[in-house]
């Protein structure tokens, strides 16, 4: 799996001599605002709308340290107001960006940051980072919406983004959540919240689609040049830089999909406006980590056709990349070169997924033959029995076939003869190898803790009653999910029966 949620290249990090380099976040940040500099065709300067009675719900001190934020300031009333949208931060000018996109495979036209505001971008130890408020009120792109987020969905996004980061999967990050007693109407009346998100960029496939679809080719080129200069500088040296950009985004997206599938992560709403140009997991709505292994699982209650089912995610990602390729055609010109860049997905993804799944078996070198003989029969057996996905992999890591601990793996299956036959094949495959080393590697690949729906729901219900400690406890565990955390063993158990009744939709 990828080892960092965001990585800044040396070219994208301003040098000390650069007058736009900014200052440490512990003081007043000097905002770079590079996206803002693109001009009014790309965004609209817009203030957040204040919320009454703000209070802290959760703060991510680990991320704050990475960003160079002063922890005392982060706990202050000033920071509370800043991250609720009740006061500006260091003279920044917040903006909402415009984009378009395909939603559930259909062209949706103009969309945009309907409830998100880019506070600004500043230099950090990890490179330039953008800070974005989600839920800070209506913008010019709200399309009759209220621009708000509710406590429920904000906690889910806060925990999920940090859970994926802890798992080593590329993602946006979450710095904090603030809450307010202000009512927000969804299926029922809930309370408002604002989550602060952090990423090198929140540019989406839909940003490119917007300018291409509307025939704004100068702006399309300006956006592509901006992304290349600041995020893919190596593409600038290529003979066909826009084709190279498409190929680079394709490669990152393939890697992201392999990681999602390996950890059993379902995004739930893979519209093109929810696809990051940097290959980050973006926009946590009706996501879910698999409980019982079901390749056809649909986590989004609103996805009536199953377009975004778990086993369809890799193909949907390819479909979205083709939409991006179509958007870039005015710059690329030649369809054959664009197709060649996109076709690398078909070559890269299977190998990336095989490598990720092989690592779960302690066999990162797993070849196509091993996939056929070892991996596929195992997954078919797990699918027939709906075997608990994270618990199986963790138990297998702790007790390989031939050890007494393997009995705990056998206890997960009704068809034990089928499992035993698979175990015999696995044992023959690893014969002569250091099984202790294999097990140790698997424990670093198969997490003990994932953010199951019922864990998030329990934290949400506690928070709705004014108890935010369960959210902080989950954050702590999910930030290092491969560690034991014996005091939190209960969080690694089977889901309760009521978990199957949790429904997650696009409403938030």
Please identify which of the residues 273, 283, 294, 303 carries the catalytic annotation: 273
Distances (CA, A) of 118 to 112, 167, 224, 274: 12, 26, 19, 16
Q: Phi, psi (5° rounding) for residue 131?
A: -110, 130
Rounded Cα gap, residues 490 and 246, in angstroms: 44
> By C-alpha distance, which of 270, 364, 285 is closest to 324?
270
Rounded Cα gap, residues 406 and 496, in angstroms: 24
Rounded Cα gap, residues 82 and 242, in angstroms: 38
> By C-alpha distance, which of 370, 327, 401 is closest to 102?
327
SS3 485: coil
Burial 52-86 (b: 16+ CB within 10 A, else e): eebebbbbbbbbbebbbbeeeebeeeebbbbbbbb
Helix (H) or strand (E) holding 195: strand 189-199
Distances (CA, A) of 275 to 37, 101, 257, 373: 23, 10, 11, 34
**Region of residue 169 (left: phi > 0; alpha: psi -120 to 50; beta: else):** beta
SS3 344: helix
Distances (CA, A) of 35 to 40, 95, 208, 223, 229: 10, 9, 14, 9, 12
Rounded Cα gap, residues 250 and 244, in angstroms: 10
273 catalytic? Reply is yes
Q: Phi, psi (5° rounding) for residue 475?
A: -55, -45
Q: Which residues are catalytic, by number?
A: 273
């Amino acid at each position: 799996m990828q080892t960092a949620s965001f990585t800044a290249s040396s070219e994208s990090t301003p040098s000390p001599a650069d007058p736009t380099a900014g200052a440490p976040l512990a003081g007043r940040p000097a905002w770079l605002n590079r996206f803002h500099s693109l001009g009014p065709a790309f965004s609209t300067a817009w203030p957040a709308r204040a919320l009454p009675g703000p209070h802290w719900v959760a703060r991510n001190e680990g991320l704050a340290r990475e960003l160079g934020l002063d922890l005392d300031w982060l706990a202050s009333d000033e920071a509370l107001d800043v991250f609720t949208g009740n006061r500006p931060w260091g003279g920044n000018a917040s903006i909402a960006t415009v984009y378009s996109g395909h939603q559930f495979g259909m062209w949706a036209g103009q969309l945009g940051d309907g409830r998100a505001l880019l506070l600004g971008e500043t230099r950090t130890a990890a490179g330039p980072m953008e800070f974005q408020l989600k839920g800070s009120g209506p913008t010019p792109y709200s399309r009759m919406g209220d621009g708000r987020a509710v406590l429920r969905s904000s906690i889910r996004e806060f925990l999920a983004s940090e859970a994926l980061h802890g798992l080593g999967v590329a993602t946006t990050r979450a710095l904090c959540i603030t809450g307010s007693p202000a009512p927000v109407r969804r299926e029922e009346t809930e309370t408002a919240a604002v989550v602060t998100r952090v990423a090198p960029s929140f540019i989406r496939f839909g940003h490119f689609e917007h300018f291409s679809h509307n025939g704004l080719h100068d702006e399309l080129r300006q956006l592509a040049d901006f992304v290349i200069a600041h995020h893919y500088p190596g593409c600038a040296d290529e003979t066909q830089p826009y084709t190279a950009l498409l190929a680079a985004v394709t490669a990152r997206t393939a890697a992201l999909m392999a990681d999602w599938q390996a950890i059993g992560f379902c995004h739930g709403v893979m519209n093109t406006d929810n696809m990051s140009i940097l290959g980050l997991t973006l926009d946590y709505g009706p996501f879910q980590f698999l409980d019982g292994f079901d390749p056809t699982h649909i986590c989004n209650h609103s996805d009536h056709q199953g377009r975004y089912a778990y086993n369809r995610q890799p193909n949907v990602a390819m479909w979205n990349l083709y939409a991006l390729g179509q958007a870039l055609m005015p710059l690329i010109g030649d369809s054959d070169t664009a197709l060649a860049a996109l076709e690398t997905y078909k070559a890269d993804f299977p190998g990336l997924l095989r490598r990720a799944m092989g690592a779960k078996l302690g066999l990162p070198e797993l070849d196509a033959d091993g996939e056929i003989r070892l991996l596929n029969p195992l997954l078919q057996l797990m699918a027939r029995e709906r075997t608990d996905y994270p618990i199986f992999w963790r138990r297998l890591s702790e007790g390989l076939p031939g050890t007494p601990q393997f009995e705990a793996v056998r206890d997960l299956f009704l068809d034990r003869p089928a499992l035993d036959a698979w175990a015999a094949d696995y044992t023959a495959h690893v014969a002569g190898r250091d099984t202790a080393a294999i097990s140790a590697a698997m424990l670093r690949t198969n997490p003990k803790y994932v953010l199951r729906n019922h864990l998030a729901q329990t934290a949400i219900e506690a928070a709705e009653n004014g108890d935010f400690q369960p959210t902080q406890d989950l954050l702590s565990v999910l930030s290092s999910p491969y560690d034991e955390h014996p005091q939190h063993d209960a969080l690694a158990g089977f889901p309760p029966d009521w978990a199957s009744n949790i429904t997650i939709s696009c409403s938030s």
